[in-house]
Structure 1
Amino acid sequence: MLKNKYIGNGILVLTGSLLSVSFYAFRAAKRDIVPISLERVARVTGKTISGETLPNPNKTNELYDVGGTDLGIAWKMGNGKVGFFFGDTYGNDFKVVNEGGPGKAGNWRSNVLGLSSDKNLGDGLTFDGMVAHQIVPSPHIIDGTGSHTTIPTAAIHAAGTDYVHYMDVRKWGNIGSWTTNYSGLYKSTNNGQNWVKCNEIRFGALSNFAQVTYAKKDGFVYMIGTVPGRWGSAHLARFKESDILKQTAYEYWSTTKGWVKNDESSADAVIEAPLGELSLAYNKKFKRWIITYLNEKKAEIVLRDAENITGPWSSEKTLVKATEYPGLYGAFMHPVNENSDEFYFLMSMWKPYNVFLMKAKLKFAD
């Protein structure tokens, strides 16, 4: 009679009086997370256009003079609401133009902020209000010699304060390419109503953290970043919440040395190029890190997952294709779905130059 005996490391030995057989019983390979059942739920910003049947609960063009905008970077604020940072924003005179983008609309603001306590997103995302004046200032010098605009890339609530990471854009280049002057932080101690510059933090024009995404876990803020534009690889850093304004305390992930303190150049790539508009979260239901971003080469918004923040990361899984939603970019996860298989995110489209709420389901691959 054969008997089973586990001796460790996944090895199963079959033993018997007449026969002895051994073989490796490998554990089932880790299954990737895959998105399914994609749908566009609602318009988040701007005016309903002719023929569109999507809910438009915010009517931002009428209520806040926000006719055209993009991004919609979401984070949990300290007061229980969710904040949404938008990029270059234009007024109620905004009109959709054939080439996309803002056209000749007025009241240009580099960034504005939406505030929401809505946690039932099935019928759309409703704002409680907006801070619709420009928060991070820019003189809008458009000849390539100064600050063209100041674009938010990520936001986080850390140690009792709300922070926004932004890039000071010097000039726009070819598709998916631009040049920055530097990147830094602004902070708010009154739930987003007022913001002040954090002079303690500054990333250079060629930094791998010129654009970032944040997520918190176990007392740390993890930060994945790229160089300016959409063609760089992803690099990893972390810091304690209380050290967010102590750049010398930041640690950078090296594949050979591990966490290296105060040496940004030691940060190795954890995901290969190209990545643009990153969004990071830890999902407790799946016990996985999830990152979404635009792959400009594929013209797709994609998703990867990993058991450990340092990797290895899964292969890319298509979330949205530009063939179905032309001019798509940005895929900023709404925190309501962080621990669920319901997956809400904010997606921008260039031609309507506005933001839409999207929904998918997540599951383990079969």
Structure 2
Amino acid sequence: MRASHGSTALGALLAVTLAIPAYAAPFPWMPPPVNMCGETGFDPLNRLPDPAAPPAPLPPYVPPSIDIPVVVPELTPVPLPDPPHDNTRVAQVPLPSDPCLNPCPEVRDTPEPEDGIEESDDTSPSSGSGSGSGTGSSSGSGLPRIRLKPERETIPIPVPGGEGEPAQEAPPRVVRPVEPGPLRPAVAAPVVESVRLVEQVTGHGSNNRTDMRWQVDGTDLGLFWETEPGKVAMVFGDTFGEGWEYGGAGSDTADWRSNVLAYSTDTDLDDGLVIDSMVQDSPCHAAELLGSRKIENWETTTIPTSGFAIGNRQYLSYMSVNHWSKIPGMWLTNYGGLAYSDDGGQTWTKDQHARWENMFGVGRFQVAAMVPHGEYVYMFGTPNGRIGVIGLARVRAADVLNKTAYQYWVDGNWAPAAENSATPLVGGTASELSVRFDADSGQWQMVYLDAVAGKIVLRTAAQPQGRWTSAVPLLSTEDYPMAYGGFIHPWSTARDLYFTMSAWQSYNVYLMHARLNPPG
């Protein structure tokens, strides 16, 4: 997982964290799905193997080689300040009326028709023995070959650079008083009648054909918010283009962008989600919204965590990732921050003061889900990694970029300047939060990954601070191996919950539909 910045990033963050084993009976075998153009997509379900396929070769009893990692320091200059982000943008040209036509043949070759499923080359160690014995021993002794495997460890060295972004004026300091925030009685939890996979939203074989239209072959997350009535934005995490291969994240040579953004006006989600356009920096190429230095142990990437709109201004919460840990599901952030856009999401400005620093790695609001409601914006947050607890803060909408104006929910009160004392909202650990308020039922919905249980779960409450119901499972990594995410579509209801799920191996985004039976 350390072969490149890109693979390190996504491997540590996005493979389901604690490697929960799959004990459920696999689903019956089915061929991979095929889109309207005859292109083969990805099936994220845990299925039995193809009965017509030849049996997989057994691995050798003794491995042909044993790699011993050796850390090799690599001094890497980091020019400061950060250079200005490239905000070159081009308009979305009308897509061909025939969805199977290549919209940009000058950018990417039209794929050959697919006659069937391509079999991957056998690159297992058992086929790489020079002696043919399967032991990998050059002496024929049957012992594995011991190899030293260098692993780069970036050592960032700050150096003077060119001109950076202009300095932003700090907002005036605001100190809100302590105000009561009592709990309401818990509401009854909904019953999940069914959960189904609606469709693959991104990547090769999707009906959106994001690989051909916007050079989005591999991506994840798919966070939603309503930008204006009848239109939603959908932002993705680390994204890879041509050269990405099945098996997880790509590499920094596969057209790596830390984040990209799409728009949709599709109101009929029962048969899938249609992407109308994406923010582009050149024809048929999705642009990176929030820049990152892409330097491990400094700033590896910048991952969006939620989006929302107040008036005509769009906001993104995001985390600046310092590096991904060797421990699955753990990573270290530099800070959690806010960015805003005044041109409908085409270009974004990182606010230099709306940042929650991660001092000593214990910051409580590094991964945030932010929801405007009434006069406040509520911020649900977790620490870096996937084994943190959920905290809550609020701020008046007019002060959303003023960190000093935030109040944190602590022991039944809204308290200023208490971010690391926020009372956990629920028991257990959580990651990749998604929260919405359902106006029809008057209840809040929260979906997140419980990595310890290996499930994406739902909770509901009458108000942001709770009391929240017990966790209701929506799907399990036993059925969807290495699934993560769970980001709610804003046009969901108390009866029909639509959310995105990401799968690590296929490294793409899927639309899910949960049919709920809300309490009367």
Q: Does TM-score exceed 0.5, indicating one fold?
A: yes
Deviations 1:289-329 (A, max 9, x none): 11000000111101111122111211111001111111100
Indicate which of 231, 242, 259 corresponds to 1:111: 259
Matched, 1:326 2:474: no
The SS at the match of 2:202 is: coil
Q: Percent identity?
A: 38
**Quick check: 1:291 aligned with 2:446?**
yes
Which residue number corresponds to residue 14 of structure 1?
A: none
| 8 A contact 1:158–1:244 mirrored in 2 | no
How far 1:286 moved relative to its partner? 2.9
1:207 to 363, 377, 384: 363
Which residue of the partner structure matches residue 162 of structure 1?
Answer: 314
What secondary structure, in the 3-state scheme, does the structure 1 residue paired with 2:491 have? helix
> What pairs with 1:14-163 in structure 2 (closer than 5 Å)?
30-48=187-205, 56-78=206-228, 80-97=230-247, 100-102=248-250, 106-131=254-279, 132-142=286-296, 144=297, 146-163=298-315
TM-score using structure 2 length: 0.60
Is the Cα contact below 8 Å between 2:317 and 2:370 reproduced in 1? no
In structure 2, give the amino acid aligned to 1:346.
T
* CA distance in 1: counterparts of 2:201 and 2:275, whole angstroms: 9
Shift of 1:279: 0.3
Shift of 1:340: 4.1
Tell me the CA shift for residue 102 of structure 1. 2.6
Count, aligned residues: 326
Cα pair 1:95 1:105 within 8 Å, conserved: no
Find the aligned partners of 2:288 and 2:439 in 1 and give their Cα distance: 35
Distance 2:292 2:187 in 1: 47
Name the CA distance, whole Å, in 2 between partners of 1:306 and 1:61.
39
Q: Which structure would you say has the larger RCO, counting Cα contacts within 8 Å and 6 or more residues apart?
A: 2
Q: How large is the Cα RMSD of the aligned pairs?
A: 1.8
Distance 1:267 1:34 in 2: 30
Q: Contact 2:219 / 2:509 at 8 angstroms: preserved in 1?
A: yes
Tell me how far apart the structure 2 counterparts of residues 94 and 101 of structure 1 sit (CA, whole Å): 8
Which residue of 492, 502, 505 maps to 1:348?
502
Confirm whether residue 235 of structure 1 aligns to residue 391 of structure 2. yes
Q: Which amino acid in the other structure matches residue 414 of structure 2? A: W
> Is the 1:78–1:191 contact (alpha carbons within 8 Å) kept by the matching residues of 2?
no
Match of 1:306 among 461, 467, 478: 461
Within 2, Cα distance between the matches of 1:221 and 1:64?
A: 33
Q: Name the CA shift for 1:193/1:315 in 2 (closer, same or farther; >3 Å).
A: same
Q: CA deviation at 1:364?
A: 3.0
* Cα pair 2:186 2:462 within 8 Å, conserved: no
Once residues 29 and 104 of structure 1 are traced to their aligned partners in structure 2, the CA distance between those partners, rounded to angstroms, is 47
The residue that corresponds to 2:351 in the other structure is: 198
Task: Give the counterpart letter for 2:207 in structure 1.
Answer: P
Task: Mark the structure with the bigger radius of gyration.
Answer: 2
Unaligned runs of 5+ in 2: 1-184, 280-285
Which range moves more in the overlay, 292-301 or 261-270?
261-270
- Give the aligned residue type for 1:242: A
Cα offsets for 1:216-249 (capped at 9, x unmatched): 2222111110001110000001112111111111
What does residue 17 of structure 1 align with? none
1:267 counterpart residue number:
422
What CA distance in whole angstroms lies between the structure 1 residues aligned with 2:322 and 2:416? 30
**Could you tell me how far apart the structure 2 residues matched to 1:332 and 1:283 are?**
15
- Structure 1 residues 68, 261: closer, same or farther in 2, change over 3 A? same
Provide the residue aligned with 1:361 in structure 2: 515
Match of 1:180 among 333, 337, 344: 333
1:217 to 2:373 alignment: yes
The residue type equivalent to 1:139 in the other structure is R
Decide whether the 8 Å contact of 1:159 with 1:242 is kept in 2: no
TM-score by length of 1: 0.85
Distance 1:274 1:30 in 2: 21
Identify which range, 286-295 or 72-81, moves more after superposition. 72-81
| Matches of 2:306 and 2:468, distance apart in 1 | 21
Relative distance call for 1:194 and 1:104 in structure 2 (3 A) is: closer
Q: Is the 8 A contact 2:315 2:341 kept in 1?
A: yes
SS of the residue 1:274 aligns to: coil
